[in-house]
Amino acid sequence: MITQKRRTGGFRLELPGLRLQVDPGPGCLLSTRLAGRSTTAVDAIFVSHSHPDHYTEAEVLIEAMTRGGTRNRGLFLGSRSAVEGYRDGSGDYGPVISAYHRELPERVVGLSPGDEVRLPEGRLEATPTEHGDPTGIGFRLEYEDGVIYYTGDTALVDGLFDCIEDAMTAIVNVVRPGSDRIRGHMCTRDVIELVREASELERVFITHFGMKMIRVGPGREARRIERETGVETIAPRDGRAYRI
């Protein structure tokens, strides 16, 4: 994030009836414009946890979604830390949006793993993570064509296997290449282990690359995952749209 070798604005999912902005980190709004996309055509925003590479432009995106606060519309979803704030022995996390911005969307919902939100088309379920922010989440999004699973930031833990088992598309945050594991995150080897447990998976997108990953090349790691699992794996380029 601090080098900006790659962009850090998260990603957008565009599905029938739902345009969801996920983890709007630094540069989200500018990257959206540079990619030729609308900044305001957003129905929902999701913040997985209270680390700045995932939330710094959350308020900016709320303003975009609500047309500068003039329309009470859209959904803001986030971890408990992101929405309400959370404190325990490990630290003091969030909230990541001000009281003012909380009032702008039509609905604001703090989610814990297992919680569900009904959407106009389909539903979203918060999934567990093992990461620095103890309230961090990912999601499973069920809609007419299948299930999309986003891991959020997490180490490879047992709870993830159930989440990916029947997913059609997975978006996996992988920080380091090979077997170079770092606490609270996955490396390429972990992704291979996770993807092997899935039975319906058609496509994997890897994202959230650290500097070591950028140096060896995410494309190389994607090819390795694809070779070892037989599942198409894509390391997306910044600003490009992909079919899911």
Q: Which residues bind Zn ion (CB under 5 A)?
A: 51, 153
The distance of closest approach from Cβ of residue 153 to Zn ion in the complex, given in angstroms and rounded to an integer, is 4
Comparing CB distances to Zn ion, the nearer of 135 and 188 is 135
Could you check whether the bond before residue 95 is cis, i.e. omega within 30 degrees of 0? yes
What residues contact residue 27 under an 8 Å CB cut-off, 6+ apart? 4, 7, 8, 9, 57
Min. distance of Cβ 13 from Zn ion in angstroms?
Answer: 20
The nearer residue to Zn ion, 59 or 153, going by C-beta atoms, is 153
**Contact status, residue 153 vs residue 173, Cβ threshold 8 Å:** yes
- Output the CA torsion sign for 41, 46, 51, 54: negative
Token pair, residue 64, equals: 């975009």
Report the nearest approach of Zn ion to the CB of residue 138 (Å). Answer: 12
Closest separation in Å from C-beta 49 to Zn ion: 6
Facing residues of 150 across strands?
139, 171
Using CB positions, name the residue nearest to Zn ion.
Answer: 51
Among residues 58, 170, 147, the alpha carbon closest in space to that of 105 is found at 58
Task: Choose between 142 and 153: whose C-beta lies nearer to Zn ion.
Answer: 153
Q: 130 or 180, CB closer to Zn ion?
A: 130
Would you state the structure tokens that stand for residue 146, as one six-digit string? 């299948």
DSSP 108-153: EEEE-TT-EEE-SSSEEEEEE--SSSTT-EEEEEEETTEEEEE--S
How are the residues of the chain apportioned to helix, strand and coil, as percentages rounded to the nearest 5?
25, 30, 50
Which residue has tokens 């979604």? 65
C-beta of 93 vs 149, nearer to Zn ion? 93
| Cβ nearer to Zn ion, comparing 136 with 218 | 136
